[in-house]
Amino acid sequence: MSETKTILRALAGETLPTPPIWMMRQAGRYLPEYRATREQAGDFLSLCYNSDLAAEVTLQPIRRYGFDAAILFADILLLPQALGADLWFATGEGPRLSTIQSQSDFDKLGGRDDIHDTLAPVYETVRILSRELPKETTLIGFAGMPWTVATYMIAGRGTPDQGPAHALKDENPALFDQVIERLIEGTIDYLSMQIDAGAEVVKLFDSWAGSLNGADFDKYALDPAKRIIAELKARHPGIPVIAFPRQAGPRYEGFAKATGADCVALDDSAEPAWAAAHVQKDGCVQGNLASSHMVTGGEALVRETRAIVEAFSNGPHIFNLGHGITPDADPENVQLMIDTVRENRS
């Protein structure tokens, strides 16, 4: 099967004449069919935990666009909820969680063995997708990386500078390290179950890695990725892993070798020519068109898409955005991007 799946071929190090393509948040609010299904579910978390409907929204962009991969519809904050954090979504404001500010807050969390009852519907979604996806479409599972997930657990919400997490890290490193350790263990078990259910690739989203510097980047972005990837590959030999240390800047270089990742996803601040020379030399790269082009479209979208395809044409490459597509994107611009990537495909 892997011979027909272009994503898997790229992840194995093959340079393809046309890069395979998928899109972060490709199942989402920019699609009218997604909005209809979410309304049917009632709210965002209900959609995440309704296996049939979560599978449906995962399949919608595959039916519409024929992407080369589908990524499981879920959320990075389901894991802390499974560990015992309170989680809810405030309309128009995003996620809210109970906070970890003290040892007693941490002690209320459950352990790694407690997560699977809560996350069972996610594993069922993966099983449905492994049956329903076209045979040429790769199924990607995912989780948030410990640092990024911890920033939400400590602040209780998203923050512009991850300040509360940095403060706890600096003021109470013993407690902070306990949080990270619990998340490393939980992430390994969560992704392992996704793989058992049928995920063919897993992606690690470290959305706030760019706020870590120096030794903190090594300790809280690089080292956890290395541990998680090593354990997943020990449990599931051959499983490909995509790592996304967003806004890592010069730290993208060497990240694949240091962690064992099969592919490094790039945000749109990474200049493609630099990344081709300094990151792609170690293996597959993914990215990295600015998501704003999905709103504005036009000749700039075509020009930038072609430039990225050309920049990465001498090595393994998966075409994607540099960040998730936004709700105000025009679905027609997504089609234009795909057509441009595939314009010379025989």
Contacts of 222 (CB under 8 A, 6+ apart): 245, 251, 255, 258, 259
CA distance 161 to 163: 5
Residue pLDDT tens, the chain, 346 long: 456 799 999 999 999 999 999 999 999 999 999 999 999 999 999 999 999 999 999 999 999 999 999 999 999 999 999 999 999 998 778 899 999 999 999 999 988 888 999 999 999 999 999 999 999 999 999 999 999 999 999 999 999 999 999 999 999 999 999 999 999 999 999 999 999 999 999 999 999 999 999 999 999 999 999 999 999 999 999 999 999 999 999 999 999 999 999 999 999 999 999 999 999 999 999 999 999 999 999 999 999 999 999 999 999 999 999 999 999 999 999 999 999 999 977 5
Amino acid at 198: G
CATH of the domain at 97: 3.20.20.210
Beta carbons within 8 Å of 214's beta carbon, 6+ residues apart: none
Structural domain of 17: 2-341
Residue 213 lies in a domain: yes
Whether 346 is covered by a domain: the verdict is no
Contact 177, 103 (CB under 8 A): no
Token pair recorded at residue 100 = 């970890």
144 in a structural domain: yes
Give the total number of structural domains in the chain.
1
Q: Of 238, 229, 186, 168, whose CA–CA distance to 76 is shortest?
A: 186
Mind telling me the catalytic residues? 25, 29, 38, 75, 152
Tell me if 185 is assigned to some domain: yes
CA atoms within a 13 Å half-sphere pointing along the CA-CB vector of 341: 26
Q: 140 has which bridge partners?
A: 71, 201
Lookup: tokens for 80: 């802390």
- Structural tokens at position 173: 């490193």
